[in-house]
Amino acid sequence: MIKQSKQPFDASTIPNDLCPIAVKPNPMLPGDWRSLRPVVDRDKCVKCAVCWLYCPVQCVVEKPAWFDFDLATCKGCGICMRECPHGAITMVEEAA
């Protein structure tokens, strides 16, 4: 049998909040720091849902005749604008 020179590390001595960034959710939402926001031209939108399909944070929401965005969680990446086949989405600067 191999004899250990040191006692095994006791993981129970590590506090649960040793790294608070990893264990405490940040209350900020992307809408708090986004620099650009998507705006839909309702006359151009044909409700094809391509923006909904590509949005990485799933913040595209369905409206009766177009698709819109949950601006609390939209991070302003612009993927929806690039993928919209009808050029219905424009990225505009957030007001200061």
The piece of 7-15, 16-24, 44-52 that touches ligand SF4 (CB under 6 A) is: 44-52
Terminal CA-CA length for the chain? 68
Burial code of 65-79, b = ≥16 C-beta within 10 A, e = fewer? ebbbbebeebbbbeb
CB of 7 to ligand SF4, least distance (A): 50
Binding test (CB under 6 A) with ligand SF4, winner from 29, 31, 78, 90: 78
The piece of 3-11, 18-26, 82-90 that touches ligand SF4 (CB under 6 A) is: 82-90
Query: Residue 62: which H helix or E strand, with range?
Result: strand 60-62
* Residue 39 binding ligand SF4, by CB under 6 A: no
